[in-house]
A and B are shown apart, each in its own frame.
Chain A
Amino acid sequence: KQEVTQIPAALSVPEGENLVLNCSFTDSAIYNLQWFRQDPGKGLTSLLLIQSSQREQTSGRLNASLDKSSGRSTLYIAASQPGDSATYLCAVRVGRGSTLGRLYFGRGTQLTVWP
């Protein structure tokens, strides 16, 4: 069964810092990996999706990398801002048999960026 772990569980940093959030997964046979952002009590906003054949994706100040063989992904946030404060979730998609269609989520990293 696929298990997704995110480290750290919480992170509090001053504005302007560059951040690295970590995600690891146990089954390397994934279709893709997605990073989401969730504000308190809200739905999920998709940030980046990396297909299994890709090594990284970039969007603005965000860069996500994928090392499928070692079961790891990192989300890099450059020049953090208070508006980046949210919970960041990592999810992987495995496409075999009973796991078809579903995303497996980590518990998230709760990020606080203070001015």
Chain B
Amino acid sequence: EAGVTQSPTHLIKTRGQQATLRCSPISGHTSVYWYQQALGLGLQFLLWYDEGEERNRGNFPPRFSGRQFPNYSSELNVNALELEDSALYLCASSLTGNTDTQYFGPGTRLTVL
């Protein structure tokens, strides 16, 4: 069974540009979560999507947004990129949005120059 996949693996952008990151959950999983892992800050919760709806978001500005498609895959968009957005962005999925195990993908390394 395929795990959570993310694309691209690496992304290099310049300040002010927009970045789009993609995530495909494990087959049968309806919940997708996004986390940011910036150097020295640990893993921070960004967004949670379940059944196509945004269920919760962390303490991030509105220029971080996303969506979940009918096939449960998800996209994270970061507008007006800033240098401090450089981080590893991790996507996770779970069978439902309650108490199930979250399975993580390999991440997308975003570098903002």
Instruction: Give the B-binding residues of A (Cβ under 8 A).
Output: 31-32, 34, 36, 41-46, 49, 51, 89, 91, 93, 95, 98-108
Instruction: Give the A-binding residues of B (Cβ under 8 A).
Output: 4, 6, 31, 33, 35, 42-43, 45, 48, 50, 55-56, 58, 88, 90, 92, 97-99, 101-107, 109
With known contacts A93-B99, A95-B99, A101-B50, A108–B104 Cβ distance under 8 A: no
Is A43 in contact with B105, judged by CB distance below 8 angstroms? Answer: yes
Is A102 in contact with B45, judged by CB distance below 8 angstroms? Answer: yes
Is A46 in contact with B102, judged by CB distance below 8 angstroms? Answer: yes
Known: A41-B109, A101-B31. 19 other contacts (CB 8 A): A34-B102, A42-B106, A42-B107, A43-B4, A43-B90, A43-B105, A45-B104, A46-B104, A51-B99, A91-B43, A99-B56, A100-B48, A100-B55, A100-B97, A101-B97, A102-B33, A102-B58, A103-B45, A104-B45
